[in-house]
């Protein structure tokens, strides 16, 4: 009952493994499985040294349903936390159905050959999970994840009706490289170079990537940053589950050096996702680029500064208009000291651990496929304060957002 399998031994997997290992009474047995066994073993050694706790490791190709089913049947977990890549979501969900295991992830399924971010593929599993008495909880990182719960929490406690949502993701950290991504480079670049879509008056409106920007000053002296409007997958589920929203936008900060490198790389074809012929073999440019870039899980010791991620919600309460800003600020070096990772992996891995804890304890449990904002936000918000991601609320802030 308190046994879990974590799939993916990258930046986020490391944080999930550490945070679960810190809670021995809740996560009694942990298996960390990934494509490269050595990466699992390195994390297991860190955990042994830090907490004196042994976790099991295994090699698995998560593209292969039979391998996954064999792993689940051998280890018999209550649930699996999928922090491999979005390409593996459906194979892992298939294996969960075959082996009777509950499921959590942090990013929606994406086919390898088209950078499409939508929930349709995973929502299509609703009936099968319901009939099997299994639960799949989607989008349990920070964004999607904590930002969805922030929205649900504000809708529940601060508004009668919510009308506008702006999710603002600022990474004020600096790793000292001219160009590196804070999570999987391939997924990050596919996301950032996609056309922007935002929700307005009952439909998604498309604009060119990175064409709308503004200046945003974070609270608590984190600094001022250029934030760019882009599409992010939680806009799809949040506008579905909060149908009173008239407008919903997602904003992310980028430094000039990151954007200049990205522009040049895109112009020369290095961000392309389809195979090209190179000296008699096929290579996918973005996969080759990933091999050249720093591994996000190595950025921890050199990343300084803070993240500031939150939601600005506008709506009405008692017939009066109001605005509320709910956010978390996290220091990269503080994360490194705790779990040997930078803040982006940390802010993703902690909400995944919290979601797993709430499912294991039965506080969040219903059969079927759900997005995280469909759960009661209150125990999650309490756990954010308890496990390293405390949040603040400002009513009627002076923000002047577009």
Q: Could you tell me which stretch among 11-19, 113-121, 273-281, 362-370 binds ligand NDP (CB under 6 A)?
A: 11-19
Contact flag: residue 19 with ligand NDP (CB under 6 A): no
Class of residue 401 by CB neighbours under 10 A (exposed 0-12, middle 13-18, buried 19+): middle
Q: How many other β-carbons are positioned within 10 Å of the β-carbon of residue 131?
A: 11
Asked if 59 and 65 touch (Cβ cutoff 8 Å), the reply is no
Helices (H) and strands (E) in the chain, counts: 14, 18
Asked if 108 and 119 touch (Cβ cutoff 8 Å), the reply is yes
Could you tell me how many residues of this chain bind ligand NDP (CB under 6 A)?
Answer: 33
H or E element that contains 67: helix 65-75
Q: How many other β-carbons are positioned within 10 Å of the β-carbon of residue 8?
A: 28
Rounded to a whole number of angstroms, the minimum distance from the CB of residue 139 to ligand NDP is: 6
Q: Cis peptide leading into 57, omega within 30 of 0?
A: no
Q: Could you tell me which stretch among 61-69, 192-200, 280-288, 394-402 binds ligand NDP (CB under 6 A)?
A: 61-69
Contact flag: residue 142 with ligand NDP (CB under 6 A): yes
Tell which one of 4, 5, 6, 9 touches ligand NDP (CB under 6 A). Answer: 9
Contact flag: residue 145 with ligand NDP (CB under 6 A): yes
State which residue, 271 or 297, has the beta carbon closest to ligand NDP: 297
Asked if 384 and 394 touch (Cβ cutoff 8 Å), the reply is no
Q: Could you tell me which stretch among 143-151, 254-262, 271-279, 321-329 binds ligand NDP (CB under 6 A)?
A: 143-151
The residue assigned the tokens 């504000």 is: 154
The token pair at 2 is: 């308190």
Rounded to a whole number of angstroms, the minimum distance from the CB of residue 232 to ligand NDP is: 9
The token pair at 140 is: 């349990």
Tell which one of 6, 84, 165, 265 touches ligand NDP (CB under 6 A). Answer: 84
At 230, phi and psi to the nearest 5? -145, 170
State which residue, 190 or 314, has the beta carbon closest to ligand NDP: 190
Tell which one of 141, 173, 305, 377 touches ligand NDP (CB under 6 A). Answer: 141
The conformational region for residue 297 under phi > 0 = left, psi -120 to 50 = alpha, else beta, is alpha
Contact flag: residue 143 with ligand NDP (CB under 6 A): yes
State which residue, 68 or 314, has the beta carbon closest to ligand NDP: 68
| Helix residue spans in 170-293 (DSSP H) | 185-193, 234-241, 256-267, 285-292
State which residue, 34 or 303, has the beta carbon closest to ligand NDP: 34
Site string for ligand NDP, 173-192 (x = CB under 6 A): ----------xx--x-----
What DSSP state is assigned to residue 377? H
- Residues in 199-218 that interact with ligand NDP by CB under 6 A: none
State which residue, 323 or 347, has the beta carbon closest to ligand NDP: 347
Residue among 222, 246, 249 nearest 235 (CA): 249
Asked if 119 and 371 touch (Cβ cutoff 8 Å), the reply is yes
Tell which one of 22, 57, 88, 253 touches ligand NDP (CB under 6 A). Answer: 88
- Residues in 28-47 that interact with ligand NDP by CB under 6 A: 34-36, 39
Rounded to a whole number of angstroms, the minimum distance from the CB of residue 396 to ligand NDP is: 28
Site string for ligand NDP, 224-263 (x = CB under 6 A): ----------------------------------------
At 33, phi and psi to the nearest 5? -125, 140
Contact flag: residue 85 with ligand NDP (CB under 6 A): yes
Asked if 296 and 184 touch (Cβ cutoff 8 Å), the reply is yes
Contact flag: residue 60 with ligand NDP (CB under 6 A): yes
Size of the chain in residues: 402
State which residue, 11 or 315, has the beta carbon closest to ligand NDP: 11
Tell which one of 61, 338, 363, 378 touches ligand NDP (CB under 6 A). Answer: 61
Q: How many other β-carbons are positioned within 10 Å of the β-carbon of residue 156?
A: 12
The token pair at 54 is: 């042994």
Residue among 390, 327, 329, 330 nearest 354 (CA): 390
Contact flag: residue 62 with ligand NDP (CB under 6 A): yes
Tell which one of 144, 285, 368, 377 touches ligand NDP (CB under 6 A). Answer: 144
Residues forming the site for ligand NDP (CB under 6 A): 8-13, 34-36, 39, 60-63, 83-86, 88, 106-107, 141-145, 183-184, 187, 296-297, 344, 348
């Amino acid at each position: 009952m308190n046994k879990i399998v974590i799939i993916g031994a990258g930046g986020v997997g490391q944080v999930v493994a550490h945070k679960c290992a810190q809670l021995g009474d809740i996560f009694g047995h942990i298996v960390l499985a990934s494509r490269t066994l050595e990466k699992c073993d390195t994390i297991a050694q860190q955990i042994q040294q830090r907490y004196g706790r042994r976790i099991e490791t295994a090699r698995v190709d998560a593209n292969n349903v039979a391998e996954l089913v064999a792993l689940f049947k051998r280890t018999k977990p209550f649930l699996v936390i999928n922090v491999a890549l979005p390409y593996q979501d459906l194979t892992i969900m298939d294996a969960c159905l075959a082996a009777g295991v509950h499921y959590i992830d942090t990013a929606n399924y994406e086919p390898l050959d088209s950078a499409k971010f939508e929930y349709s593929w995973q929502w299509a599993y609703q009936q099968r999970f319901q009939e099997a008495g299994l639960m799949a909880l989607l989008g349990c990182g920070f964004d999607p994840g904590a930002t969805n719960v922030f929205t649900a929490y504000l809708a529940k406690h601060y508004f009668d009706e919510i009308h506008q949502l702006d999710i603002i993701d600022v990474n004020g950290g600096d790793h000292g490289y001219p160009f590196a991504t804070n999570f999987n480079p391939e997924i990050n670049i596919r996301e950032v170079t996609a056309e922007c879509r935002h929700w307005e008056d009952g439909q998604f409106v498309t604009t060119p990537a990175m064409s709308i920007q503004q200046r945003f000053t974070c609270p608590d002296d984190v600094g001022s940053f250029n934030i760019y409007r882009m599409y992010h997958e939680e806009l799809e589920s949040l506008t579905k589950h909060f149908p009173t929203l008239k407008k919903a936008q997602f904003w992310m900060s980028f430094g000039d050096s990151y954007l200049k490198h990205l522009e040049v790389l895109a112009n020369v074809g290095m961000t392309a996702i389809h195979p090209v012929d190179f000296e008699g073999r096929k290579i996918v440019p973005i996969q080759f680029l990933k091999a050249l870039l720093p591994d996000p899980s190595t950025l921890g010791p050199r990343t300084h500064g803070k993240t500031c991620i939150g939601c600005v919600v506008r709506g009405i309460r008692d017939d009066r208009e109001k605005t509320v800003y709910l956010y978390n600020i996290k220091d990269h070096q503080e994360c490194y000291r705790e779990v040997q990772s930078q803040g982006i992996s940390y802010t993703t891995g902690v909400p995944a651990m919290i979601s797993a804890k709430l499912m294991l304890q039965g506080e969040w449990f219903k059969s079927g496929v759900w997005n995280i904002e469909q759960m009661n936000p209150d125990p999650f918000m309490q756990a954010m304060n308890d496990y390293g991601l405390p949040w603040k609320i400002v009513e009627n802030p002076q923000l002047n957002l577009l």
